[in-house]
Each structure stands twice: as C-alpha cells, then as structure tokens.
C-alpha cells in the first residue's frame, strides 16, 4: 500500500513538473532565441500594458505598438538602444552597435513604420531642430562654422559656441548655418513624436510612476535589485477610461511646470500654475470607490484632481513663504 502511494506521489510530482516545463516552453515561443535581453524586456513592457489596459489606447495606437513586434530584430534593437539614449537627434554616421548588423536598413524599416524620422536636406531642417542638432557637432566643427561667419567668436566652451553660432544665424549673420550643419552631420535621425509619446505612456502605465523606465529591467537583469516571485491579479483598473488617463497626463504636465517654476523661483509661473490647476480641479473628480480605504487612497493618487490639489498646495505654500520674506 505504501509502495502504491509512493508511486502515485511520484507520478503526481512528475505530472506537475511536466506541466511547468510545458508552461515555460509555451512562454518562450513568443521570443526568438537570438533576441537580446533588453529587446525581450521591451516586448514584455508593450505586451503587458496592452493586455492589462487595452481600453486606454485607440485602435490606431494599439496597431502601432503591436507593429513593433513585427519589425526585424535589427530595427527593434536599434529603436530600444536609441530610445534609452539622450537625444532627441542622432547622427547616423555615429550609430554603431555590435548586435545591429545593418543600421541603415534598420532605420529605413523604422521610418517606414513611423517609429523614426530623419532629415536629409536643408529644406527639412526647422529652426527648433537646428539648435538641438548643433549639440551633435564636435567643438572643432562648431569652431569651423563660427569662423565662417562675419562676426567670428573667441569662446571655447561647447555650449557657448552653440549659443554664439545660433545667435549669428538668428541675426542673419550666418544664413548658411543649415547647410553647414548638414555638410558635417549628414543624415540625422530621431524617434518620432508618436512613438515617443506612446512609449512614454506605456512606461508610465507599466511602472505607475514617472521615475522608473527601461533601466529598471537592467537593474533586475544584473541582479542589483531582486523582487520576490508573485502573481499579479488585476481586480480594478486604475484608469477606468481613456479620458481619465488623458486628464491625469494633463495634470502631471502642469505639475511638472510647477516643479520647474519652484526650482527657478518664478512667482509669476507659480501663480499661473495655481490658476490652471484650480480651474481644472473643479471639473475633475476622483471616480474610484472601494471597500478598502487604503485601496481608495492609492487609486486617488492617479486622479487628475489629486495632482491638481498638490499643485495648488505647493504653489500656495511657495507664495506664502515669499510673502513672509518680503
């Protein structure tokens, strides 16, 4: 009898183990054996957010994000690499990664899918982009351009050179600046505004804060941060509707403006943020109710009204301190 029970237990253990093996094997089917770790992490980010929050994206946005998975490996890797770098513009000639065999073809594929944009001619270069692209030039290249203008310059620091060159262009002293930049940088690329905003939103929904990004995966991969194993069960949606998410994003933009205004001690900007927050706060309400006060408090942090209330509180506190100083 004991032998029968032992055999039965062994069969159950084997069956359980085999089920786990099948589950792992099934999960790995979605990922190519040649896929890099950061590429796989990016897949997880997109897939988990789309699975958990499909109601927060339009059909066009979902199709766009899902199209990333159909891109060739080179394109996926290059996009993730550039997305995690400081941009917005990059010189094509300086892009080189050992795991990306053909950067030019990768960029071509990304551009075709709307993930990248570039400029190849002077007529495509806008004034706002010009100042950003000047940062891609080396100090020696900036000096060359500066020496070509009538005014010239004696500054040596890179940022001073950029300011001087761009000022000469605005004053009409250096009208050849766009062509001079293009002659040196050749083709420049950047992540499209659509891709940038959607991936930013995806990150925010995945991490539920504005501080963490894809680097959080790296910390886990390196073993620097370890999380316990757990099953994530979503019983309630933090954002019940797309309109709630949009309102929250708009509120966080005002909060960011307030942070910048406080850092720079700009009383007028602080007052403007208070007025914006106060006017919008009356039109937004926290819609989450739960049996648990703790859960309700957590959800309220992701409402536009909560963010606006914090903006008003910080702004009023700042103005009160300034008044006491005067």
Window from 15-19, 125-129, 273-277 with minimum mean pLDDT? 15-19
The string of pLDDT tens digits covering residues 25-34 is 344 445 554 6
Cα 260 to its chain centre, rounded Å, is 19
pLDDT at 23: 39
Q: Report the predicted TM-score, pTM, of the whole model to 2 decimal places.
A: 0.76
**88 preceded by a cis bond (ω within 30 of 0):** yes
pLDDT at 223: 77
- Determine the Cα–Cα distance for residues 307 and 310; give it in Å rounded to an integer: 5
Q: Are residues 319 and 198 in the same domain?
A: no
Q: Are residues 141 and 248 in the same domain?
A: no
Q: Determine, yes or no, domain membership for 263.
A: yes
pLDDT at 213: 77
Q: Say if residue 7's pLDDT is above 80.
A: no
The count of domains in the chain is 3
Q: Say if residue 118's pLDDT is above 70.
A: yes
Neighbours of 72 (CB within 10 A): 14
The rounded percent of the chain whose pLDDT value lies above 70 is 81
Average of pLDDT values for 125-152? Answer: 78
Q: Are residues 274 and 147 in the same domain?
A: no
Contacts of 132 (CB under 8 A, 6+ apart): 88, 89
Q: Determine, yes or no, domain membership for 158.
A: yes
pLDDT at 325: 75
The string of pLDDT tens digits covering residues 182-225 is 788 888 899 999 999 999 999 999 988 777 877 777 777 777 77
Q: Are residues 180 and 277 in the same domain?
A: no
Q: Say if residue 110's pLDDT is above 90.
A: yes
What's the token pair of residue 224? 């620097």
pLDDT at 120: 66
Q: Say if residue 53's pLDDT is above 90.
A: yes
Q: Determine, yes or no, domain membership for 275.
A: yes
Buried b (16+ CB within 10 A) or exposed e, 293-320: eeeeeebeebbbbbbbbebbebbeebee
Higher-confidence residue of 63 and 1: namely: 63
pLDDT at 32: 53
User: Of 186, 207, 233, which marks where a domain is finished?
Assistant: 186
The string of pLDDT tens digits covering residues 225-264 is 777 887 777 778 889 899 999 999 999 999 999 999 999 9
Q: Are residues 127 and 180 in the same domain?
A: yes
- Reported as a pLDDT band with limits 50, 70 and 90, residue 124 is low
Q: Are residues 165 and 294 in the same domain?
A: no
- Determine the Cα–Cα distance for residues 29 and 26; give it in Å rounded to an integer: 5
Q: Which residues are registered as beta bridge partners of 174?
A: none
Q: Determine, yes or no, domain membership for 161.
A: yes
User: At which residue do the structure tokens 């709630």 appear?
Assistant: 244
What's the token pair of residue 90? 């990059």
Q: Say if residue 297's pLDDT is above 90.
A: no
- Determine the Cα–Cα distance for residues 88 and 189; give it in Å rounded to an integer: 8
CB 186 within 8 A of CB 180: no
Q: Determine, yes or no, domain membership for 317.
A: yes
pLDDT at 12: 45
Give the structural domain span for 313. Answer: 242-325
Q: Determine, yes or no, domain membership for 24.
A: no
pLDDT at 274: 93
What's the token pair of residue 210? 């504005």
Q: Are residues 248 and 316 in the same domain?
A: yes
Higher-confidence residue of 293 and 104: namely: 104
**For the chain, how far is it from start to end, CA to CA, in angstroms?**
91
pLDDT at 323: 82
Q: Say if residue 20's pLDDT is above 50.
A: no
Q: Determine, yes or no, domain membership for 233.
A: no
- Reported as a pLDDT band with limits 50, 70 and 90, residue 272 is very high
- Determine the Cα–Cα distance for residues 138 and 53; give it in Å rounded to an integer: 44
pLDDT at 137: 85
Q: Are residues 251 and 307 in the same domain?
A: yes
The string of pLDDT tens digits covering residues 153-187 is 677 788 888 888 887 777 777 777 778 887 888 88
């Amino acid at each position: 009898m004991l032998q029968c029970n032992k055999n039965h237990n062994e069969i159950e253990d084997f069956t359980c183990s085999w089920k786990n093996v099948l589950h792992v094997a099934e999960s790995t089917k979605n990922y190519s054996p040649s896929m890099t770790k950061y590429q796989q992490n990016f897949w997880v980010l997109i897939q988990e957010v789309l699975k958990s929050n499909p109601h927060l994206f339009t059909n066009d946005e979902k199709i766009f994000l899902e199209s990333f998975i159909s891109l060739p490996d080179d394109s996926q890797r290059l996009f993730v690499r550039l997305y995690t770098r400081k941009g917005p513009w990059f010189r094509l000639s300086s892009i080189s990664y050992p795991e990306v065999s053909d950067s030019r073809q990768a960029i071509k594929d990304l551009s075709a899918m709307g993930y990248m944009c570039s400029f190849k001619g002077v007529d495509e270069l806008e004034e706002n982009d010009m100042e950003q692209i000047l940062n891609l030039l080396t100090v020696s290249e900036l000096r060359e351009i500066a020496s070509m203008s009538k005014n010239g310059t004696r500054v040596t620091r890179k940022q001073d050179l950029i300011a001087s060159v761009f000022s000469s262009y605005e004053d009409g002293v250096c009208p050849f600046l766009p062509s001079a930049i293009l002659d040196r940088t050749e083709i420049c690329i950047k992540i499209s505004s659509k891709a940038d905003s959607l991936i930013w939103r995806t990150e925010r929904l995945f991490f539920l804060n504005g501080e963490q990004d894809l680097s959080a995966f790296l910390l886990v991969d390196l073993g620097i941060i370890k999380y316990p194993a757990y099953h994530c069960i979503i019983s309630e949606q933090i954002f019940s509707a797309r309109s709630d998410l949009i309102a929250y994003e708009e509120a966080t933009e005002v909060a960011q403006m307030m942070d910048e205004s406080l850092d720079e001690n700009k009383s007028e900007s602080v007052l403007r943020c208070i007025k914006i927050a106060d006017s919008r706060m009356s039109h937004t309400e926290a819609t989450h109710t739960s049996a648990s006060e703790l859960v309700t408090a957590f959800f309220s942090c992701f409402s536009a009204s909560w963010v606006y209330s914090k903006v008003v509180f910080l702004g009023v506190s700042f103005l009160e301190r300034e008044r006491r100083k005067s």
